[in-house]
Structure 1
Amino acid sequence: MSRTNLFIVLAAVVLTVLGAFYYLGQKPVQSASLRQPEASDPIAGAALYADNCSACHGANLEGQENWQSPNEDGTLPAPPHDETGHTWHHGDALLFNYTKQGGEALLTQMGVTDVKSGMPAFGDQLSDAEIWDILAYIKSSWPDRTRDIQQQRSQAEQMRNGG
């Protein structure tokens, strides 16, 4: 395969994945308790993140190398959760459900079938409160402006979901 063809294929895959994540941000997400509780504990979340997330997403939220280029199986490497990644581009409901249900299950529920996700479900391993604590830890690493933008996206997501 020529370099040009390889570039076109990779660009198409990346655009498909980015389009799917944009689409995910527009579709309602169904689940209980989709607002992050005020009592979420980022300190507890840091320990939970270290135990459950850091093997893939990095000890410092840095993600895996080349996280925007698909692996041979079509899944993308684990993205960073710091401000250099796309986690903050999504509202709380999507982040919570993606963690709880896993990527494939949530994508399928939302009607997105052309994107493969390597994100496993943590609903059987972590309580809802623990997932919220992890999200609080991740958010605590973001600059104020990034947190503000993500909060606005969460509020817009709540409005779309009727709440």
Structure 2
Amino acid sequence: MKRKAIALGVASIAATAMFFFSKPQSGFIDPSDSEMVAKGKNIYAAHCAACHGANLEGQPEWRKRLPNGRLPAPPHDGSGHTWHHPDAVLVDIVKNSLVPGRTAPDGYQSDMPAYANVLSDTDIAAVLAYIKSTWPPEALAMQKELSLRR
């Protein structure tokens, strides 16, 4: 019993150390996985399309501030700016909304909800794979380069 407790304690310390001292995950969510894209399309339809458009077109005049000072939801197709951001930033935005000083300018307010308690990391990756599957090859290549930089 004592050996089990010691082994469990050592394993717990090792897992904690790996979590705190490992390099942050970076990488590229590849939109070539058709199953992931199909899953992402369904999740997008259920959670994102109401604001960002059924065809990823965004809200009208998405660059013009609303009366409350906030910006409408941008498009996620190639006409928008989503592809200008690495995957780590896009995942952060989906999970935590736009956070001033981190993923948005200081003082910025957004209507974008946080999905950390709604969607799993796998779900978020699937949505991003779906979105990215619609981009022109040049935009996808540029976004991939951004995502793979350390």
**TM-score band w.r.t. shorter chain:** 0.7 to 0.9
Structure number with larger C-alpha Rg: 2
Verify: 1:85 aligned to 2:85, yes or no: no
Match of 1:63?
58
Match of 1:47?
42
* TM-score calculated relative to the size of structure 1: 0.70
2:90 paired residue among 87, 91, 95: 95
Please give the residue correspondences for 1:10-159 in structure 2 after superposition, counting only pairs within 5 Å: 33-36=25-28, 41-103=36-98, 106-109=99-102, 112-156=105-149, 159=150
How far apart are 1:86 and its partner, in Å? 0.3
Look up the equivalent residue of 2:53 and give its one-letter code. Answer: G
In the alignment, is the contact (CA less than 8 A) between 2:93 and 2:103 conserved in 1?
Answer: no
Gaps in structure 1 of 5+ consecutive residues: 1-31
Q: Taking structure 1 as reference, are residues 127 and 71 closer, same or farther at Cα in structure 2, changes over 3 Å only?
A: same
Higher deviation after alignment, 32-41 or 82-91:
32-41
Higher deviation after alignment, 129-138 or 116-125:
116-125
Hey, what's the Cα distance between the residues in 1 that align with 2:94 and 2:25? Answer: 14
Hey, what's the Cα distance between the residues in 2 that align with 1:69 and 1:125? Answer: 29
Secondary structure of 1:41's counterpart equals helix
Hey, what's the Cα distance between the residues in 2 that align with 1:64 and 1:111? Answer: 19
Hey, what's the Cα distance between the residues in 2 that align with 1:75 and 1:130? Answer: 27
Gaps in structure 2 of 5+ consecutive residues: 1-23
Q: Taking structure 1 as reference, are residues 69 and 111 closer, same or farther at Cα in structure 2, changes over 3 Å only?
A: closer
In the alignment, is the contact (CA less than 8 A) between 2:97 and 2:114 conserved in 1?
Answer: yes
Q: How many residues align?
A: 125
How far apart are 1:114 and its partner, in Å? 2.6
Match of 1:6?
none
Look up the equivalent residue of 2:94 and give its one-letter code. Answer: T
Hey, what's the Cα distance between the residues in 1 that align with 2:96 and 2:39? Answer: 21
In the alignment, is the contact (CA less than 8 A) between 1:34 and 1:96 conserved in 2?
Answer: no
